[in-house]
Amino acid sequence: MVEQKKQEPEMPYLTRIQVLGAMGATAIILWIVAKLWLRFGEFSLFSWHWNSSDFILGIGLGLIITFVSGLAYRFCTPYRKSADYYLELVLKPLALPDLIWLGLLPGLSEELLFRGVMLPALGSDLVAVIVSSLCFGVLHLSGANQWPYVIWATIVGLMLGYSALVTGNLLVPIVAHILTNLISSYLWKMRQLN
C-alpha cells in the first residue's frame, strides 16, 4: 500500500500567538467592514433578539452541521484532506482553552458581516443567501488546493443564511456557527492528541 505524502502548507506554519492575533485581527476587520457598510448603506442590520426557541434551533442547526461535517470528513477524501490542511494551520498551534476564541470570534464577526449585514444589503432573499454564502466560502480559502473546504464552507453558509432568513433572527446562525466551531475544533484536536 502506497502512503500518500501529507500536503505541505503554501504559507508557513503559525505560532499560537500568530493564530490568535490573526483571528482577532480578522474579527476586527470584519466588524469594521460591517459597520462601514451599515453606515453608508440604505438598510438596517438583520434583526437579532433573544428568543429561547431560536436559541434551541441554533443549537440544533449547529449539531446538524457538525454531524454532516463529520460524515463528509469520514467518507469524502478530498474534503478530509482539505479540512485537515486548513485545521492543521489554524488549530494545531492552539491550546484547548483557545478553542473558545475560535468559536466566539469567527462565530460573531462572520455572522455579523455575512448574515447580519450582507443579507439585508443584498435584499434578504434567496439570491442574497447564495451570494453571501459564496463570499463566506471564499473567506475560508487558504491555498490553491483548498476548494473542497471552500465548497463545504459555502454549503454551511447556505444553511446559516437560510436559517436567518426563515427565522428572521440572527441569533440562530450565530449560535449554530459558534457551536459548530467549538465542537468540530475540539473533536479534531482530540483526534490529533490520540
Instruction: Look at residue 146 in the predicted model and tell me its pLDDT.
Output: 87
pLDDT, tens only, 145-157:
889 999 999 999 9
Does 9 reside within a domain?
no
Cβ-contact 98, 18 below 8 angstroms: no
Using the 8-state DSSP alphabet, how is residue 2 labeled?
A: P
Give dist(CA 47, CA 67) in Å, integer.
Answer: 28
Instruction: Look at residue 188 in the predicted model and tell me its pLDDT.
Output: 92
Does 10 reside within a domain?
no
User: Lowest-confidence range among 24-38, 49-63, 93-107, 135-149?
Assistant: 135-149
Does 43 reside within a domain?
yes
Does 174 reside within a domain?
yes
Is residue 2 scored above 60 in pLDDT? no
**Where residue 5 falls among pLDDT bands split at 50, 70, 90?**
low
Does 94 reside within a domain?
yes
pLDDT, tens only, 179-194:
999 999 999 999 988 7
Q: Which residue has the cell 432568513?
A: 165
Please give the full DSSP string across 3-57, using - where no structure is assigned. Answer: PPPPPPPSSPPPPHHHHHHHHHHHHHHHHHHHHHHHHHSSS-PPP----HHHHHH
Q: Which three cell numbers stand for residue 149?
A: 473546504
pLDDT, tens only, 59-86:
999 999 999 999 999 999 999 999 998 8
Q: How many domains does the chain have?
A: 1
Does 81 reside within a domain?
yes
Is residue 169 scored above 90 in pLDDT? yes
Instruction: Look at residue 11 in the predicted model and tell me its pLDDT.
Output: 59
pLDDT, tens only, 96-133:
999 999 999 999 999 999 999 999 999 999 999 999 99
Does 26 reside within a domain?
yes
Give dist(CA 86, CA 143) in Å, integer.
Answer: 9
Is residue 38 scored above 60 in pLDDT? yes
Instruction: Look at residue 8 in the predicted model and tell me its pLDDT.
Output: 54
Average pLDDT, the chain: 92
Does 8 reside within a domain?
no
Is residue 7 scored above 60 in pLDDT? no
Angle of helix 171-193 versus helix 52-75 axis, rounded to 10: 40
Average pLDDT of the segment spanning 87-95: 90
Quote the domain boundaries for residue 44. 16-193
Return the amino acid letter for 122: L
Give dist(CA 60, CA 130) in Å, integer.
Answer: 22
